[in-house]
């Protein structure tokens, strides 16, 4: 499906060196957007950028950025504004998780998840707010997770970080609405990417729930179709979103009925 609204627009994507970020980049380019791809892996970014430029004939610039190095973020966005003049869409995609019971989680991993998933996301967002408010247009897309709506065993800290993303996004949406700036959260279930190489080195999650994994291209296509619209949030898959809603309404029942499934990772 084509999204004509993206043609000629400037889209900035964090965590663009693979997985969902790469797919979002490729599908944005297919729709005529010019891109700035940000991630730590400069080599991988260059490979993706070269492929995108050759295939889609759009501008695609890479900038190495570790979003936990907060002092670097302002200069990166200043460069983008100097080169492109504006940013139409910011996709805060950088994120990772570590699955471990609360008793066993390392404080370094707690700090790391919040540094990337929450503080880095907020720091990048702050860099586009003044300009988007001034131009009274633009969109901020925050990649959260169904884990931010329904926490399960061994994901306490990861879920907490995504709860924080949703809280920030929901507040920001109201703040930005008076300026005509759109804010959308994306809440996918597990996606078949390298995310689980780090989140679950044992492989038990993939072994137990691999058949329920979402496809990166389908998730990206849903996001692309909603770019520069006033859609509030994307929830995938449908059954997991229903489970999260039921948990809000009947938490004790859902936790009892779903107990066996929740402990499968």
Catalytic residues: 158
Q: How many Å is the maximal CA-CA distance in the chain?
A: 55
Alpha-carbon distances, residue 69 vs 26, 99, 118, 209 (angstroms) = 26, 24, 13, 34
Which residue carries 């999650």 as its tokens?
205
Buried b (16+ CB within 10 A) or exposed e, 56-89: bebbbbbbbbebbeeeebeebbeebeeebeebbb
Element at 91 (helix H, strand E): strand 89-92
Cα–Cα distances (Å) from 11 to 60, 119, 130, 191, 220, in that order, read: 10, 21, 16, 22, 14
Q: Virtual CA dihedral for 155, 157, 162, 164, nearest 10 degrees?
A: 150
């Amino acid at each position: 499906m084509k999204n004509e609204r993206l043609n000629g627009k400037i889209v900035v994507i964090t965590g663009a060196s693979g997985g969902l970020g790469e797919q979002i980049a490729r599908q944005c380019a297919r729709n005529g957007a010019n891109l700035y791809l940000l991630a730590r892996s400069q080599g991988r970014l260059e490979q993706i950028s070269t492929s995108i430029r050759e295939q889609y004939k759009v501008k695609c610039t890479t900038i190495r950025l570790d979003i936990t190095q907060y002092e670097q973020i302002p200069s990166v966005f200043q460069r983008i504004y100097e080169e492109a003049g504006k940013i139409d869409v910011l996709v805060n995609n950088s994120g990772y998780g570590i699955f471990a019971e609360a008793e066993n989680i390392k404080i370094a991993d707690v700090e790391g998840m919040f540094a990337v998933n929450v503080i880095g996301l907020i720091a990048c967002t702050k860099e586009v707010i003044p300009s988007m408010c001034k131009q009274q247009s633009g969109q901020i897309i925050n990649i959260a997770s169904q884990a931010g709506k329904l926490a399960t065993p061994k994901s306490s800290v990861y879920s907490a970080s995504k709860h924080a993303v949703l809280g920030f996004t929901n507040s920001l949406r109201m703040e930005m609405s008076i300026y005509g700036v759109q804010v959308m959260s994306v809440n996918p279930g597990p996606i078949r990417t390298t995310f689980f190489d780090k989140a679950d080195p044992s492989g038990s999650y993939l072994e137990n729930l691999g058949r329920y994994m979402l496809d990166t291209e389908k998730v990206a296509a849903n996001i692309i179709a909603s770019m520069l619209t006033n859609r509030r949030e994307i929830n995938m898959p449908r059954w997991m979103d229903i489970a999260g809603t039921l948990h809000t309404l009947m938490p004790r029942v859902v936790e009892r009925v779903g107990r066996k499934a929740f402990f499968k990772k």
